[in-house]
């Protein structure tokens, strides 16, 4: 479980509200993990990164020669 972090730490690192991460767990988009005896919920960072997709697909390359500087 080295790649797991708490909801609070993940929200602080990524700039996402904790309620959004909890909603993702409730909707079964993310899996919640618990360590024996602890109440905190952990989230897998790799799973979180794979579920987040960009809204716009900006794979096109910009030709900087077309712009005046």
Tell me whether residue 64 is in a domain.
Answer: no
Tell me whether residue 40 is in a domain.
Answer: yes
- What is the residue whose two structure tokens read 């904790």? 18
Rounded Cα distance between 69 and 40, Å, is 51
pLDDT of residue 58: 67
| Global pTM value | 0.69
Tell me whether residue 56 is in a domain.
Answer: no
How do the pLDDT tens digits run along the chain, 69 residues long? 568 999 999 999 999 999 999 999 999 999 999 988 788 899 999 999 898 877 776 667 777 787 776
Tell me whether residue 66 is in a domain.
Answer: no
Tell me whether residue 33 is in a domain.
Answer: yes
pLDDT of residue 2: 64
Tell me whether residue 45 is in a domain.
Answer: yes
Number of domains in the chain: 1
Q: Which domain holds residue 32?
A: 4-51
């Amino acid at each position: 479980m080295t790649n797991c972090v708490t909801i609070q730490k993940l929200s602080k690192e990524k700039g996402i509200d904790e309620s959004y991460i909890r909603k993702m767990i409730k909707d079964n988009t993310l899996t919640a993990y618990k360590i024996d005896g602890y109440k905190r919920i952990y989230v897998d960072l790799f799973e979180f990164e794979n579920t987040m997709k960009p809204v716009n697909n900006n794979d096109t390359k910009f030709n900087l020669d077309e712009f005046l500087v």
